[in-house]
Amino acid sequence: MNDPKKLYYEKRAAILVRNLKSRHFDAYYCDNKELALRKALELIPEGSTVGWGGTMSAQQIGLIDAVKQGGFRCFDRSAAESPEEKLEIEKNCLFSDVFLTGANALSLDGQMVNIDGYGNRVAAIIYGPGAVVVIAGMNKVCENLEDAVSRARTVAAPANQQRFQRNTPCTVTGACGDCKSEDCICNQIVITRHCRPAGRIKFVLVGEDLGL
């Protein structure tokens, strides 16, 4: 018997892929993590420089490990031995051939919402790298843009703060406090509604729950 959730994701993905393409993004739907990994690697030319921001979804499909082990030059800030080196690696990501990221939320009409603390991740999505590959589980898809922004602020950000354990209200309560804390990770909220140049941002949508 077919899994009802899989069927639901597949049918919503068909709508989302069509709407993303209408906004000049490239978009692909993969039923599972294994197919998503294969498709993502097809989108990264051999020998490319590859950078990434904090992206659980790319890690969960095995993409980060695959590029580290493949024929790519990687900008991996987790390998930094000092804050200064970490900052330098993050800057190098802005000049990478390919930047890997997740999405905090997507609207069904094809818009992406990302929320960031320092801005390095959203900066690379907006401008710099030659291509951006977005790995997104279908659990990130919301009915409309308003719901997508709400998800980024009230679900993704408080959930991520449980990983970071920084000094913010949502770390304590699990709910957004609309704070101005020094440790706030909601400093930049970016809506990407259209891709220019066409095809620079490529979505690999996965028929599983990924990320937070």
CATH of the domain at 35: 3.40.50
- Given a contact cutoff of 8 angstroms between Cβ atoms, the answer to whether 212 and 57 are in contact is no
3 state SS of 184: coil
Name every residue whose Cβ is closer than 8 Å to that of residue 9 and which is 6 or more positions away in sequence. 138, 207, 208
The boundaries of the domain holding residue 113 are: 4-44+103-206
Identify whether 211 is part of a domain: no
Confidence at 83, pLDDT banded by 50, 70, 90: very high
Of the chain, the percentage scoring pLDDT greater than 70 comes to 100
Predicted pLDDT of residue 2: 81
Closest by alpha carbon to 93, among 64, 132, 60? 132
For CA atoms 54, 25, 153, 14, the dihedral sign is negative
Asked if residue 141 is part of any domain, the answer here is yes
pLDDT of residue 54: 87
Residue 166, domain member (yes or no):
yes
Within a domain: 125: yes
- Residue 188: band (very low, low, confident or very high) from pLDDT cuts 50, 70, 90: very high
Q: Does residue 85 belong to any structural domain of this protein? A: no
Average pLDDT over residues 108-121: 97
Q: How many CB atoms lie within 10 A of CB 53?
A: 22
Average confidence (pLDDT) over 10-37: 98
Specify whether the CB–CB gap between 176 and 168 falls below 8 A: no
Residue 1: pLDDT over 70: no
Q: How many domains does the chain contain in total?
A: 1
In this prediction the pTM is 0.96
Q: Do the domain assignments include residue 113?
A: yes
CA distance 115 to 169: 17
Q: Answer whether residue 86 is part of any domain.
A: no
Q: What is the pLDDT of residue 179?
A: 95
Whether 110 is in a domain gets the answer yes
Q: What is the mean pLDDT of the chain?
A: 97
Mean pLDDT of 131-159: 97
